[in-house]
Structure 1
Amino acid sequence: MLVYMIRHGQTDWNAEGRLQGQKDIPLNAIGRRQASDNGHALKAILGNTANDFDFVASPLGRTRETMELVRAAMGIDPLAYRTDDRLVEVSFGDWEGFTISELKQTVRQRVKERSRSKWDFIPPGEAAESYEILSWRVGSWAKDIDRPTVCVSHGGVFRAFFKFSGMPVTEAANAPVHQDRILRIDDEGATWL
């Protein structure tokens, strides 16, 4: 397996520390620059082998825009990629749009529960997920990878891959997920480039 993972560029909600989840928040100027910079870096990595790769993104707008900017910076058709619903970010349910500080003001005990077991914590709300639940659908997608792949997705999806590569879930739930770097995943593990 060879996958180059790129997290979508920054949004205003990322900059504010808001739980974004499945809300469709657009990239900001920094995020668009990060996406283009990642495209230039990926072009240098892949060279003339880009056509050997499957390009896939989460269907949310911020990941599609990131993918299109990455591909444009690589000098290839920005729209020649596919999306997969299994790559959508974890749902934070009723907590989407809030910062942890804001939530502490109204549901302090629940925030403490989350900090004790972030991987398995399910926020309130009908569609909410834990990182463990997210890892099930991401794992389903990963099993379908049949060629070298470039994937643009979300922080939670990266966390699932951290787990798949052997990182303990307590670390995977809290490890930094960069928006300005590329993660290479192969049979030997995951490496930030």
Structure 2
Amino acid sequence: MTRPTVYFVRHGETDWNAEGRLQGTRDVPLNDVGREQAARAGALLQKLGLGCADLDFVASPMLRTRETIEGLRGAIGLDPHDYDVDERLREIAFGQWEGLTWGEIRARDPQGHRASRADRWHYVPPGGESYAMLAERVRPFMEGLTRDTVVVSHGGVARALLALFAGAPKDEAPGVDIWQGRILVFAGGAAEWVPAAT
């Protein structure tokens, strides 16, 4: 059976994104750039010529993803609040590292930082979760989809999906750039970015 197509959107920028801080489970709102990116993603989705009203829309429960999906839907003329939320789409938990930059982590926890670089898929930050754990959390969500779906979630979730459903090597997936304001299409066992609007 063919798996439904997923149109994946990473939430728009927050001030913590701009500062390079790990957000994880922290509820950080979008900034002005992030709100523009949400609208831009909606415009890109519309340019694909899809019957957007016929797609399912699902977001992570985090504030930044809900703000993004509402901005996206509003930009294409749909009811901003008519979407589902799924707990399994939450960002990877960074535990005690949340709120820190990678430079701060390297200074405060050099051993943990080295261990995370040595095995990015399996390493569990203090009080957090690994990409392997995240992948097992999101796998049932993807396997349960029955219709083409717009998913608004997080960079970590996208990286896990790339390893699970698009053939990305697990040792490389955690380092893949996941752009904001763009759409990553998962279809037919592969993933491809929709070209950015010019």
Short-chain TM bin: over 0.9
Q: 1:124-150 deviations in whole A, cap 9, x for unaligned? A: 02xx10011000011010011000100
Matched, 1:102 2:97: no
Counterpart of 1:39, as a letter, is G
Structure with greater helix percent: 1
Identity %: 46
Q: Which residue of 2 aligns with 1:20?
A: 23
Q: Which residue of 2 aligns with 1:160?
A: 160
Deviation at 1:46, TM superposition (A): 3.6
Q: 1:66-112 deviations in whole A, cap 9, x for unaligned? A: 00000000111111101000000000011100111111112111101
Structure 1 stretches of 4+ moved >6 Å: none
Taking structure 2 as the reference length, the TM-score comes to: 0.94
SS in structure 1 of the partner of residue 27 of structure 2: coil
Q: Tell me: CA distance 1:46–1:81, structure 2 relative to 1, closer, same or farther (3 Å).
A: farther
Q: Structure 2: give runs of 5+ residues left out of the alignment.
A: none
Q: Which residue of 1 aligns with 2:184?
A: 183
Counterpart of 1:16, as a letter, is E
2-structure distance, mates of 1:190, 1:88: 20
Deviation at 1:52, TM superposition (A): 1.7
The number of aligned residues is: 190
Counterpart of 1:30, as a letter, is V
2-structure distance, mates of 1:56, 1:37: 18
Matched, 1:37 2:40: yes
Q: Structure 1: give runs of 5+ residues left out of the alignment.
A: none
Is 2:53–2:78's contact at 8 Å kept on the other side of the alignment? no
Q: Which residue of 2 aligns with 1:170?
A: 171
Q: 1:131-178 deviations in whole A, cap 9, x for unaligned? A: 110000110100110001000000111011110211101211101000
